[in-house]
Chains A and B, each alone.
Chain A
Amino acid sequence: AQSVTQLDSQVPVFEEAPVELRCNYSSSVSVYLFWYVQYPNQGLQLLLKYLSGSTLVKGINGFEAEFNKSQTSFHLRKPSVHISDTAEYFCGTSYGKLTFGQGTILTVHP
């Protein structure tokens, strides 16, 4: 079985500050790892994914994530956030089916 824990339910941050959204996973097998973003009143959009190879993965909108196998983590980072990054972010693992964490609401303040 696989599970995902997002360690922060809400992250407030000021515009142009760096941000990290934390995600830990557990699985007895190798899985694929994903980050999705959901803007208000919309479906989910894929930000980035880790399948294998380089542990640093770059995605859309300036986001990146680092896969750390020893710590079973896949934290999402952005060096400088914008107001438009305000959204809910979901971490997920996939082994036949995609399992999500509880979500982290990122709020960027001016």
Chain B
Amino acid sequence: DAKTTQPNSMESNEEEPVHLPCNHSTISGTDYIHWYRQLPSQGPEYVIHGLTSNVNNRMASLAIAEDRKSSTLILHRATLRDAAVYYCILRRMNSGNTPLVFGKGTRLSVIA
């Protein structure tokens, strides 16, 4: 699997937008970009994924660079509950149940 690079940690004020970056310069044309997050004392949970176009769901937005070598997870209004470790993961298209390959992720702190 292609590798991703994320900052170790980031900090945000409550109710402000948060932009979490991820670099994946060796991404292949068939790799989807997935984001998972892990809240304290919980297992990881799926956030969002995309291939080329920007994606939105109730949790977040995913902005993908035109060359696909980087992406940004956007939390529009951070809450204290969003404090977690965020993982950016590449998965081959139609990979079915291939395992997730986690890096160390970005630890997001949210300040009230």
A and B are interacting partners: no
